[in-house]
Amino acid sequence: MQINEKDKSNRPNENPVPSDENFTPLIVAFCCNWCSYAGADLAGSGRLSYPAEVKIIRVPCSCRVNPTFILRAFQKGADGVILAGCHPGDCHYSTGNYFTRRRMTLLFSMLDYMGIEKERTRVEWISAAEGAKFASTMNEFAEKINSLGKCRRLGDLRCV
Amino acid sequence: MTEYDLSLEAIRMSGVYPERCMKCGKCSGACPSYGEMEYHPHQFVDMISKGRIKELMESDSIYKCLSCFVCVERCPRNVFPANIVEAVRTLSERRQGADRISPDTLTEFIDGDTPQQLLMAVMRKYSK
Amino acid sequence: MRIESDIILGKVKRLVSDGKADRVFAWKKGNFCYDTEPSLFTDNYVGFTYDDFCAANLCKFMINESKKDGKTLVLIKPCDSKGLALLEKEHRINRERIYALGVPCAGKIDMDKIRENGVKGVIGIEEEKENVSCNGDENLIIKTLYGDKIIPKKSVLYDKCLSCTDKEHVGCDEVFMPELSEDTYDGKKFEGVKKIENMPSDERFSFWRSQLSKCIRCNACRNVCPVCSCVKCIFDNDNSGIASKANSDDFEENLYHIIRAFHVCGRCVDCGECSRVCPEKIPLHLLNRKYIKDIKELYGYEKEPALLTFTKSDAEPSVIYERGEKNV
Amino acid sequence: MVYDYYPGCTLKSKASRFDISAVKAAEALGAEMREIPEWQCCGGVYPMACDEIAHRLPSVRALNEAKNNGRDLLTVCSACYHVLKSVNYDMKNSMDVRSKTNSYLEYEKEYKGETRVVHYLEMLRDDIGFDAVSEKVVNPLKELKIAPYYGCLILRPSKIIGFDDAENPVTMENFIKALGGDPVVYPFRNECCGGYAVAEDKAIAEKKSREIIECAKKHGADMMITACPLCMYNLKKYADIPIKYFTEILCEALGIEADGE
Amino acid sequence: MNRIGVFVCHCGSNIAAAVDVKQVAEALGREQNVVFSAEYQYMCSENGQKLIKNAVKENALTGIVVCSCSPRMHEATFRKTASEAGINPYMVEIANIREQCSWVHKDITAATSKAIILGRAAIAKVRFNEPLTVGESGVTKRALVIGGGIAGIQTALDIADAGYKVDIVEKKPTIGGKMAQLDKTFPTLDCAACILTPKMVEAARHENIKLYTYSEVEEVKGYVGNFSVKIRKKARYVRENLCSGCGACALKCPSRNSGNEFNTGLDKRGAIYIPFAQAIPNIPVIDAEHCIKFRTGKCGLCQMNCAAQAIDFSQKDEIIEEKYGAIVAATGFDIINLDKFGEYGYKTYPDVVTSLEFERIMNAAGPTKGHLERPSDGRQPKTLVFVQCVGSRDTSGRGKEYCSKICCMYTAKHAMLTREKYPDTDVYVFYIDVRAPGKNFDEFYRRAAEQYGVHYIKGMVGKIYDDGNGNLMVRGSDIIANEQLTIKADMVILAAAAKPDDSARSLGTMLTASMDTNDFFTEAHPKLRPVESPTAGVFLSGFCQGPKDIPETVAQAGAAAVKVIGLLSKDRLKSNPCVARSDSLICSGCSNCEKVCPFGAITYADARVNDGTGMETRRVAVVNEAVCHGCGACAAACPSGAMDLMGFTSKQIFAEVDAVCR
């Protein structure tokens, strides 16, 4: 199958924002490769379902996640962002998630302070053996985001 | 106030974390007043964390502590047993009519040498 | 006792003639008594001043000054000294080429606050010696073209001075007349943060939206900040994935202040310069101070910046959900 | 050397010889003790309950006075020392106590535990120096085996009081040596004499005091010294050897007449 | 110019049943830069891979996106395929549309559109992929073991037996460590010297082992496979090659004032001495601090009496530089100083001793020839009190917060041996908890209590004082009997907390091996990599990693040896190319990245840079790729974005985020 490279615009406004009646939330999940991504795989092999709105981005360690990634996701239309890593003490790189824990605690506290609904952000420790926890966490989180509705605030918090 | 709330209040007043106690009994091994007490320093820590403050409040043990801080000094876990004893005693004395020694009864033990410091201490320790 | 500019200058001259430094970085008088500016003095001291209007933090200039040969003597106020110490710790300055002279500080005066009091045509300021106002505060005599005005000193100090909790210098080569420093703390350092924390979420949001909407992206906050000392700011680096000059509604513009606050999180020395220099009067220090408050509450004070260290028993991020009101 | 002096209630009444001997000896050693005006009794015992603010106020007032005078606050009595130092520790380290106390007292400048609380023995040891004391001795306490009795309050809790090693203190021993005496080291020098509990139960005080005296004697003591009027009161009742305030033997050694009572 | 090929796998029906794979392939085919898009039954199969290889060649693809199962399953497979097709294996990205899509979403429309989005994210990412090459470095086939106790000896023997050269550096004049000082070992009660000395001899004789005793590591440079170490060999003032170990010098030495370290200072030794009879090497050393010749210039009796002419007062410290492929830390333990525990009177009363001192007293080669005699008057004690947890489990700041682990058992051993040899004694043990979780451990402790009549008292000692008649009064609590008791004792033995040896901290800094707040070396993973340090090429053996008894130490020593052998058996080390990289043009040299790196992979160098404003010298971060594990902590800590992680660059992740949120 050959495709011509023609007018493949990637403008962000290609998809209109869904109206609130048929709102389906967009959730970005950053998962560390060694525990949580494996946990998500295990949820898969166990056929434990969770909403399709959850999109996973793989990172080597939760400590790779720069706060700008999370902000960027909200900026580009995510309604909730969850960061999942190994349990404290079990990090593949020994100490990565300890740094994550501090960074995210402080960042999320700040977002809350700025009036962004704090329920839209979450950190969860999910091991490679916790497929069920992965699925239930995602279900729970999606439900919460659903009840919150579309996230507009970060986009509106502009300084121009 | 329930007994449990009263215990919490005592813990709050004492500023102590009784859950840090590892039940080694060193406080009681060091206490100079041990023989005079019905409940001993380690029991104070244990009972208060279990919400059993009434028995302590009713007991004479709260008046036997000398506030010598030996238990505080030697505790390996930074529990301050003396502070707990004091908190229980204070709570007990804050109740109506629960003064151990009142200004009237003070005269009973005063003699020519009694230092002022002792009178002050007694008023602080044994009355509201 | 008042801090006399001449005495400071005398000290500076002695140090230079003793060979402690080759040039001096200090403040210079402007056209009016209140528009002093940072200045480098190389051969003479024309215009040298150190008075109640010298609020600018000089330590960031040392990044470039310390690249030059020889030694620069710089005047450092107590609040500036923390910035200088951080610059040294982060290897941003060559400390050996700097002679940091700690100078006393009795609080700096915010001209805008004087103006808010309806005082115009200011030509000078003196401290009133005799009458101490009822609350024990000192008064200032504001000399104006239209006669003297008396104003309580605390009412015209910069906000950053009112939240300055200690007047102790750190890491200076020498501290000159520290006894002249005066405590200017009003005891309300975290009041501003607490006030916002106590607002409902919606109100917090509208507060920050109204504040941040005023931003004109002049970058003054960043340029003055002694902690924002990157060789190249991530917002100036087209390749970073964050900077995006073309679109006005883009990531950078919207989230600039959040990211900047996070970048200085745990490192911020709380000098208050960001808010002081903001032409739109956005209370940016309230962002930084929120982090300071959180760090203090969650982790206590530590030797290393909070984000560069950890303990195994740190608070879980869920601590945030456990406080304040819920949105759902 | 000038100190702000906090005598405490007992030194101004029952233990006046303690006060007078201390002031005179200090004078001879070149230290001036300026009694702070209108001091209030520290309460004799430190209020351990975090919510007892009122009982801390007299101490804070004295501490703040010393801060304003820019001087160290000197005490001679161990109990006052213990209370002042403990309260000062709270003012420095407990945000809760500090803010409540300050909001009550409404000082112009918050008191944050800036004052250094000095015990007379610390002054001798750290500021004047036992060597300098020793040089001024005219009547060395030769052949006198003196047992120093520390008691509780000057030592514990050592993390807050920080006077000396709470289990093996040496300050008083070195003090006795400086006066030419022979210190008796005995294990009960830091045991409690029964303290205020004498009012509740005389038997405790008697038992504890006797144990201490017996222990000192067994280790060869001819005399005991103390730094606390309450310890003095308890010990004296049961002692068959002389008990003195440490300042009294200091005066003796320095050749100063100090008759108070 | 990116030319991307998309390959959508059906995985039989695993994916195809829940995802419309055709639609996915079509939709992704319309993405920018995608020049080829196809779906196939099993992409991982021989034919599937062939399809990919052909597409690469025919369409000159620069990047590959495979929409299939988890990358944890087949990323390696498709990387190999790419490599065989002639493009860089790191130009492959996987969109996980099986585990994270078809298997968990029932609705085919939702699953299909999610699969498309996941595919787009992978495409967005692969646009920014860079070809990466696996780094390679050589391996020096020699290992260094630091510490010559049982841990170090065992590790060295195991490595040497596998045929690799290994050096032991020991700071004391002899190897043997703490175990050499012990009398019997629990729970079997076999004699420590009998089982240790043969190993010491074996280590000394082994052709692959070289001993540097009385030596210390001074500097460590390099990285896994290529360490360069400076060892300071302290002057013994005895020529090792000449000395016959006859011991005449030690006998003639007139100085007798030095505490004998081997006997924990309970007796004296000369200024020239051999630590103990079975010392290895059996060569004396001169303690210059106490030697009369060194202090006054006169004496030299040892020199006169040395037939071998081995004494050399002019000897100087020697610095040896050696290269190693792997380093094992086996620095062992020591016991804490008891000065802060005045209530136990250790400093005041000679008859209050530590357990280690008691080992020497009970040892037949010790200062009392194995007779139980108390230090003050040489009398045989009748009542002995053992106090456990002296400084262990102590959060007051005086001791250590951890459990020292070995004390319960050795106290039971001491109590048992005392009762066995001297049935007329009364033995009390104050304990908080008796921790005996080991093979035959609890049985051993129970035997002490049940068969040997040792009185175990649950409680703690509050104070130890003398009654003025030479008796020790031990006042403590018995919290089960709920009483305070005072025992008149003749001797008290304190189970002082064990701590990592003082040399560990500075060694940790040299090795850039992380340590915890107690100065124990941290393991790379607490469960799965317990004998490796997070710093590649550094391994841990024995107590320096955490409290351990002898069997555990030996087991860990063997495990560490295996890891070393595994490393040394390789000729080349391949490194993960997904490592951090610092842009020297942007780096400010602030050291934030260094502080969060768990592996010590970041160092700083002065670089000459010109970022357009003129040439200048700057301090910039440099990543040692052989040491970096690629976690990315540094990249997130860098405020300027100078630090980035290959394979997961900020740009790549931004692109993924944008694609997912689009």
Domains and CATH numbers, chain D: 2-120 (1.20.1050.140), 129-254 (3.40.50)
The answer, yes or no, to whether residue D176 has pLDDT greater than 50, is yes
* Phi-psi region at A120: left, alpha or beta (left = phi > 0; alpha = psi -120 to 50): alpha
Task: Among C231, C247, C310, C314, pick the best mutation site for testing chain E contact (most E Cβ within 10 A).
Answer: C231
Q: Which of E103, E526, E599 sits opposite A89 (nearest CB)?
A: E526
* A123: in domain: yes
d(CA C4, CA C9): 9
Of residues C322 and E372, the one with the higher pLDDT is E372
Residue E132, domain member (yes or no): no
Dihedral pair phi/psi, residue D37, rounded to 5° = -75, 150
Which pLDDT belongs to residue C77?
A: 94
Same domain, E389 and E442: yes
CB-closest option in D167, D208, D230 to B117: D230
Instruction: Please answer whether residues D3 and D71 qualify as being in contact, where contact means their C-beta atoms are separated by less than 8 angstroms.
Output: yes
Residue E131: inside a domain, yes or no?
A: no
Q: Which chains touch D (3 or more CB pairs under 8 A)?
A: B, C, E
Residue D47 contacts B, CB cutoff 8 Å: yes
Nearest by CB to residue B73, choosing from D10, D79, D166, is D166
Q: Is D109 on the interface with C (CB under 8 A)?
A: yes
Q: Which amino acid is at B50?
A: K
Planar angle of CA E77, E79, E80, nearest 5 degrees: 65
pLDDT at residue C248 tops 70 = no
Whether E445 and E409 have beta carbons less than 8 Å apart is answered as yes
ipTM value > 0.90 = no
Cβ contact, residue pair E114, A3, below 8 Å: no
Shortest CA distance to E411 belongs to which of E380, E438, E445, E379?
Answer: E445
CA–CA dist E101, E109 (Å, integer): 11
Q: How many CA atoms lie within 13 A of D3 on its CB side?
A: 27
* Residue B20 confidence (pLDDT): 92
Yes or no, beta carbons of C255 and A113 under 8 Å apart: no
Nearest by Cα to C154 from C131, C183, C130:
C183
Statement: residue D106 has pLDDT above 80? yes
What are A's interface residues with C at a Cβ cutoff of 8 A?
67-68, 71-72, 75, 88-89, 95, 98-99, 101-119, 122-123, 144, 147-148, 153-160
Residue scoring higher pLDDT (A27 or E515): A27
Which pLDDT belongs to residue D261? 43
Rounded CA gap, A160 and C244, in Å? 14
Q: Give pLDDT, residue C184.
A: 83
Q: Taking the CB of residue A152, how many other CB atoms lie within 10 A of it?
A: 12
Q: How confident is the model over C11-20, as a mean pLDDT?
A: 93
Of the partner residues B29, B40, B75, the one whose CB lies closest to the CB of residue E475 = B29
- CA nearest to D99 within chain C: C187
* Lookup result for tokens 């087209």: C238
CB-based contacts of E481: which residues, under 8 Å, 6+ apart?
none
Per-residue pLDDT at A21: 56
Q: In Å, how far is A62's CA from the nearest CA of chain E?
A: 8
What's the CATH code of the domain at E523? 3.50.50.60
Kind and range of the H or E run holding A123: strand A121-125
Per the structure, the count of domains in chain E is: 5
Are A49 and E106 within 8 A, CB to CB? yes
- Which 3 state secondary structure label does DSSP give E135? strand
- What residues contact residue D101 under an 8 Å CB cut-off, 6+ apart? D53, D56, D57, D60, D91, D111
- Check whether C253 has a pLDDT greater than 80: no
The answer to whether residue E413 is domain-embedded is yes
Helical axes D229-238 vs D78-93, angle rounded to 10°: 140
The pLDDT of residue B103 is above 80: no
Within this chain, do residues E38 and E78 fall inside the same structural domain, yes or no?
Answer: yes
Q: Residue E68: beta bridge partners? A: E96
Other beta carbons less than 10 A from residue C205's beta carbon = 19
What is the Cα–Cα distance from E248 to E301, expressed in whole angstroms? 10
Is C232's CB within 8 Å of E640's CB?
Answer: yes
Among residues 4-23 of chain D, which lie with CB inside 8 Å of chain B?
8-10, 13-15
Is the per-residue pLDDT at C328 higher than 50? no
Lowest mean pLDDT: which of C75-84, D250-259, E167-176?
A: D250-259
Cα–Cα distance measured from residue A45 to residue A48, given in angstroms and rounded to the nearest whole number: 8
d(CA E194, CA E204): 16
Domain boundaries, chain B: 3-97, 99-128
Nearest to E626 by CA among E590, E572, E585: E572
| Phi/psi of residue B114, nearest 5 degrees | -55, 120
Tell me if E596 is assigned to some domain: yes
Q: Are residues E505 and E528 in the same domain?
A: yes
E523, burial (CB in 10 Å: exposed 0-12, middle 13-18, buried 19+): buried
Q: In angstroms, rounded to a whole number, what is the distance separating the alpha carbons of residues D6 and C158?
A: 40
Nearest-CA distance from A35 to chain E in Å?
11
Which pLDDT tens digit goes with each residue over E405-460?
Answer: 999 999 999 999 999 999 999 999 999 999 999 999 999 999 999 999 999 999 99
User: 0.90 exceeded by the pTM?
Assistant: no
pLDDT above 70: percentage of residues in chain E:
100
DSSP tag of C183 = -
What CATH number is given to the structural domain containing E98?
3.40.50
For residues E193 and E280, give the distance between their C-alpha atoms in angstroms, rounded to a whole number. Answer: 13
CA separation for the pair C321, C299 (Å, rounded): 17
Please judge whether D108 and C187 are an interchain contact, meaning their C-beta atoms are less than 8 angstroms apart: no
Q: Which residues contact E24 (CB under 8 A, 6 or more apart)?
A: E8, E39, E67, E97, E112, E115, E116, E119
Residue A76: the pLDDT is: 84
| Domain co-membership, E64 together with E213 | no
Does B118 contact D198 at a Cβ distance shorter than 8 Å? Answer: yes
The answer to whether position A68 is within a domain reads yes
Asked if C254's CB is within 8 angstroms of A155's CB, the reply is yes
Give the Cα separation of E626 and E473 in Å (integer).
61
Whether residues E656 and A60 touch (CB distance < 8 A) is answered with no
Average pLDDT of every residue of chain C: 86
Whether E77 and E192 share a structural domain: no
B to D contact (≥3 Cβ pairs closer than 8 Å): yes
Q: Do chains D and C touch (3 or more CB pairs under 8 A)?
A: yes
Cβ–Cβ gap B25/E389 under 8 Å: no
Chain D residues in contact with B67 by the CB 8 A cut-off are 45-46, 48, 152, 195-196
Domain containing residue A64: CATH number: 3.40.50
For residue range E462-472, what is the model confidence (pLDDT) as tens digits?
Answer: 999 999 888 99
* pLDDT at residue C115 greater than cutoff 80: yes
Distance CA A40, CA A50 (A): 10
* E468 vs D166, D167, D215: nearest CB: D215
Mean pLDDT confidence for E299-321: 95
Q: Is the pLDDT of residue E659 over 50?
A: yes
Give the number of domains in chain A.
1
Residues of the domain holding E168: 142-234+317-332+501-568
Q: CB neighbours of D96 closer than 8 A, spacing ≥ 6?
A: D50
List residues of chain B with CB under 8 Å from any CB of chain D. 12-15, 32-33, 36, 63-70, 72-73, 80, 82-83, 86-87, 90, 100-101, 106, 109, 113-122, 124-126
User: Which of D202, D206, D148 is CA-nearest to residue D175?
Assistant: D148
Q: Kindly determine whether residue E343 and residue D167, on different chains, have CB atoms separated by under 8 Å.
A: yes
Which residue do the tokens 């106390």 mark? D101
Q: Name every chain C residue with its beta carbon within 8 A of the beta carbon of E590.
A: 90-92, 229-230
Chain E CB contacts of A135 below 8 Å: 104
Residues of B in contact with E463 (CB under 8 A): 29-30
**Pair (E352, E485) in one structural domain:** yes
In Å, how far is D204's CA from the nearest CA of chain E? 16
Cβ contact (<8 Å) for E117 and A60? no
User: Of the candidates C7, C84, C73, C83, which has an alpha carbon nearest to the alpha carbon of residue C40?
Assistant: C73
In a domain, E657, yes or no: no
Q: Which residues of chain E are within 8 Å of residue A65 when distances are taken between CB atoms?
A: 636
Q: Is residue A119 part of a domain?
A: yes
**Residue A53 Cα to chain centre, angstroms:** 10
- Would the CB atoms of B90 and D49 count as touching at under 8 Å? yes
Residue A9 covered by a domain: no
Is the pLDDT confidence value at C131 over 90?
A: no
Give the lowest-confidence range in C115-124, E46-55, E584-593: C115-124
Q: What is the pLDDT of residues E221-247, one digit of tens each?
A: 888 999 999 999 999 999 999 999 999
Residue B14: its chain D contacts at CB < 8 A?
48-50
Q: Residue E253 and residue E292: Cα distance in Å, rounded? A: 9
Please check whether residue E255 lies inside any domain of the structure: yes
* E112 within a domain of the structure (yes/no): yes
Of D102, D108, D110, the CB nearest to C136: D108
Q: Is residue E652 part of a domain?
A: no
8 A C-beta contact, residue A42 and residue A131:
yes
| Confidence (pLDDT) at D233 | 95
Amino acid in position D133: V
The CA distance from E592 to the nearest CA of chain C, in Å, is: 7
In this structure, the strands spanning D32-35 and D2-6 are: parallel
Q: Phi and psi (nearest 5°) for D201?
A: -155, 100
CA E555 vs. chain centroid, Å, equals 14
Full DSSP string of E561-599: HHHHHHHHT-SEEEE-S--EEE-TTT-----HHHHH-TT
* Reported CATH class of domain B3-97: mainly alpha
Both structure tokens of A25: 């939330």
Q: Across the interface, do D204 and B64 touch by the CB < 8 Å criterion?
A: yes
Residue E213 in tokens: 């005793």
pLDDT tens, chain A, 160 aa long: 333 333 333 333 333 344 455 688 899 999 999 999 999 999 999 999 999 999 999 999 999 999 999 988 988 889 999 999 999 988 888 889 999 999 999 999 999 998 888 889 999 999 988 999 999 999 999 999 999 888 877 765 543 3
Contact C187 D110 (CB under 8 A): yes
**Same domain flag for E366 and E489:** yes
| pLDDT attached to residue C254 | 63
User: Which residue of D12, D18, D57, D196 is the best one to mutate when testing the B interface, meaning the one whose CB has the most B CBs within 10 A?
Assistant: D196
> Which of A99, A102, A107, A136 best probes binding to E when mutated, by most E CB atoms within 10 angstroms?
A99
Any residues with CB less than 8 A from the CB of D115 and at least 6 apart, and which? D63, D64, D66, D67, D72, D73, D88
Give the separation between CA C175 and CA E155, rounded to whole angstroms.
Answer: 56
Say if A82 falls within a structural domain. yes
Report yes or no: E379 and E284 within 8 Å, Cβ to Cβ: no
Taking Cα atoms as reference points, which of A58, A56, A62 lies closest to residue A29?
A: A56
